[in-house]
Amino acid sequence: MNTKISYSFILKPETNRSGLHPVYIRAFKQGKKTEIATSVALQKDDWSEQKQRVKKKNRAHEKYNAILDAFDKKALKYVLDHFIQEDTPLTLGQFKDYMLSVGQSGESFTDYILNYLNQNRSRLKLETWWSYKSQITKLLKFKKRIAFADITEKFINDYHHYMLRVLGNNENTASKSLRSLRTFANISMRYGYMKQNPFRYINIKKVDGKRDFLTREELGRLSEAYWQNKVADAKEREILRYFLFACYTGLRYSDLKTLNYSSVLENSIQLKMHKTGYLVNIPLTQRAKLILISSQNNPFNSIFRVYCNKVTNRILKQIGRRYNIPKKLTCHVARHTFATISITLGIPIEVVSKLLGHTNLKTTQVYAKIVDSVKEREMSKWDKL
């Protein structure tokens, strides 16, 4: 059972620089207390201890009492909301953070962020800009109008629960949305629209999600379909072509879109990765070279006609079903395939990391964890003792 927070208004015995006594909210829970300053300060004789309000003899009593009423109303609602929800006990720290947002801007948080994104569109990568826009759309499904003062720890936890239970998001998808919301909150604090950091006590989880990849046999099946011209439709053939190229090189979808022949130097690809800006040099295998040869050698044109993500993934899904591959094929599956097969073939993980353009070896080590054949091969060395 929750232990409810109790609170009252008090007049501090100490005076401020103006010689006035400030009014505070004093909150108690289980023998502990915290105090929150209001903007009200007055002479000691102008305070009614019994009514906990400013006496009428003070010229600004209506204004001051309206401020205290706003604090009182907000505190009561917040305490009762948490008292009803026994699974989310309210702490004194959370109560204080929430009460400090009284008087915080009531303007629309989402309108402000959308305006900020539009003003800074040229500074953001296109994919990042669209991702942030989609996160705002998702947020507005949870609540139609969101003010700056609404962004509290409880709001964040409720939104997290909504994504998992109502939208059916997995933990990583929900965490990505929370990280975007945290970015928006940081922007709002930077420009003075929010006073407190609502993410102060929030721990955003990141779990190892399922990474689909093709086995060598499945990759061979798709490769055979391409080279033996079993895929007749021009759009399907082109999508399968750059999907296979990604399997052979580990390139991301965003890099496939901008790849042109000026990046092909002798027997390797040299390019700055779109996502990280990391410069990579990827030696070309025979299969990757054959795919490049199948295009006209025009150094000013893109190597592939890359369709939008939605079309690409829809076509890949159809191809996967046709060739009995029980996995949700995407361009990122191709990148996972390159990583896992490279490790299976015995390529050192440090080399794979460089080829993928990872700046941290830990990112690449995720692939080593999911390749059981490598574990079996390495453990078999014990049998040679």
Claim to verify: residue 245 and residue 355 sit in the same structural domain: yes
Claim to verify: residue 277 and residue 334 sit in the same structural domain: yes
Claim to verify: residue 368 and residue 221 sit in the same structural domain: yes
Claim to verify: residue 147 and residue 52 sit in the same structural domain: no
Claim to verify: residue 74 and residue 170 sit in the same structural domain: no
Distance CA 182, CA 176 (A): 10
**Could you say which DSSP state residue 327 is in?**
S
Check residues 281 and 377 and name the one with the higher pLDDT.
281
Would you say residue 1 lies in a domain? no
**Could you say which DSSP state residue 7 is in?**
E
% of the chain exceeding 70 in pLDDT: 86
The 10s digit of each residue's pLDDT in 31-51 is: 899 998 888 999 999 999 999
Long-range CB contacts for residues 275-281, cutoff 8 Å, separation at least 24: 275/125, 275/127, 276/357, 276/359, 278/357, 278/359, 280/354, 280/355, 280/356, 280/357
The 10s digit of each residue's pLDDT in 148-175 is: 888 999 999 999 999 999 999 988 889 9
Check residues 199 and 360 and name the one with the higher pLDDT.
199
Would you say residue 222 lies in a domain? yes
Claim to verify: residue 151 and residue 227 sit in the same structural domain: no
Claim to verify: residue 329 and residue 368 sit in the same structural domain: yes
> For 165-169, 324-328, 356-360, 371-375, which range has the lowest pLDDT when averaged over its residues?
371-375
Query: Which one, of 315, 323, 292, 289, lies nearest residue 214 by Cα?
Result: 323
**Number of domains observed in the structure of the chain:** 3
Claim to verify: residue 229 and residue 260 sit in the same structural domain: yes
The per-residue DSSP string of 139-195 comes to HHHH-S--BGGG-SHHHHHHHHHHHHHTS---HHHHHHHHHHHHHHHHHHHHTTS-S
Max mean pLDDT among 2-11, 90-99, 205-214, 316-325 falls in 316-325
Distance CA 118, CA 333 (A): 32
Please report the pLDDT score of residue 374 as a whole number.
58
Asked whether residue 103 carries a pLDDT value surpassing 60, the answer given is no
Claim to verify: residue 233 and residue 360 sit in the same structural domain: yes
Element (H, E) at 279: strand 279-283
Claim to verify: residue 121 and residue 258 sit in the same structural domain: no
Q: Which domain holds residue 157?
A: 109-190
Q: Which residue has the tokens 């599956």?
A: 333
| Residue 127, domain CATH | 1.10.150.130
The 10s digit of each residue's pLDDT in 251-262 is: 999 899 888 888
Q: Pick from 172, 190, 208: which residue ends a domain?
A: 190
| Residue 292, domain CATH | 1.10.443.10
Claim to verify: residue 128 and residue 89 sit in the same structural domain: no
pLDDT tier for residue 14 given thresholds of 50, 70 and 90: very high
Polymer length of the chain: 385
Asked whether residue 1 carries a pLDDT value surpassing 50, the answer given is no
Asked whether residue 94 carries a pLDDT value surpassing 80, the answer given is no
Q: Assign 3-class secondary structure to 76-119.
A: HHHHHHHHHCCCCCCCHHHHHHHHCCCCCCCCEHHHHHHHHHHH
User: What's the mean per-residue pLDDT of the chain?
Assistant: 85
pLDDT tier for residue 377 given thresholds of 50, 70 and 90: low
- Tokens matching residue 141: 């499904």
| Contact by Cβ (8 Å): 285, 248 | yes
Q: pTM of this prediction?
A: 0.57
Claim to verify: residue 90 and residue 128 sit in the same structural domain: no
The 10s digit of each residue's pLDDT in 231-248 is: 888 999 999 999 999 999
